[in-house]
Amino acid sequence: MLPDPNGCLAPAGAFSPDERAAVYRAIETRRDVRDEFLPEPLPEPLIARLLEAAHRAPSVGFMQPWNFVLVRRSETRERIWQAFRRANEEAAGMFSGEAQAKYRSLKLEGIRKAPLSICVTCDRTRGGAVVLGRTHNQQMDVYSTVCAVQNLWLAARAEGVGVGWVSIFHENEIKEILGIPGHIEIVAWLCLGYVDRLYQQPELAVKGWRQRLPLEDLVFDEGWGAQDGRVPTAQSERVTHSAAADNAIREGS
């Protein structure tokens, strides 16, 4: 055991089987919710827990570059939706034929339907000009903010709250609506609300947009492109748990 003269260390070790299963269940059953939000408002203590989870994310140089702009008013969300609608029409025009028709068929109503939106931003000046760990990769602050988004998303899944990540907008329009300073970067617009059903698989897979890539095609050994066929597989208890998680989704839990 490492010496700990200042009492700063805590015991480390694996979670109990039930705790471990809960973590994996949140990861496996997390979904990007686009249209299935219920109108019921989220309680303030719940919102506080989700924000605390986001704030516990790892950040390079411990710079904690994130801010969270909470948007509840329907008038503000309507202005944001109008900005999204304009950008979405531009996006639809980038596809053609069957792909465009399929794109237009997707219901993207989270901004209007979800009772809460959170604009997650990154302050790239926080921590000063030279930040530990960002000296050779200036994107590490943005990557850190994405970790905060993922923390919030997984905590929301555990709380029975759906999350939808909206990325189709012109950043300057959102900044103008919310009064966000020019040097702040918008990383995510998240729609949050209760849901009583989730897709068993990602919605874009269910609707034929793309399918999950085989993990074995994405794992290399000791160098790019090198594969020796020894991709690790999950233990049997994980496979059993995954099936239980799918059953839980079908039952609406």
Architecture in CATH of 31-212: 3-Layer(aba) Sandwich (3.40)
Query: Which is it for strands 184-194 and 161-166: parallel, antiparallel or unpaired?
Result: antiparallel
pLDDT in tens, 39-70: 999 999 999 999 999 999 999 999 999 999 99
The pLDDT score that the predictor gives to residue 248 is 43
Which one, of 80, 100, 83, 84, lies nearest residue 92 by Cα? 100
Q: Where are the domains of the chain?
A: 31-212, 213-253
The pLDDT score that the predictor gives to residue 237 is 52
pLDDT for 1 beyond 90: no
pLDDT for 249 beyond 60: no
pLDDT in tens, 3-21: 887 889 998 999 999 999 9
Local confidence band at 216 (pLDDT 50, 70, 90 cut-offs): very high
pLDDT for 2 beyond 50: yes
| Number of other CB atoms surrounding residue 236 within 10 Å | 8
pLDDT for 163 beyond 70: yes
Least confident segment among 17-21, 98-102, 158-162: 98-102
Residue 163, strand partner residues: 32, 192
Amino acid, res. 107: K
Vertex 43, ends 171 and 202: CA angle to 5°? Answer: 55
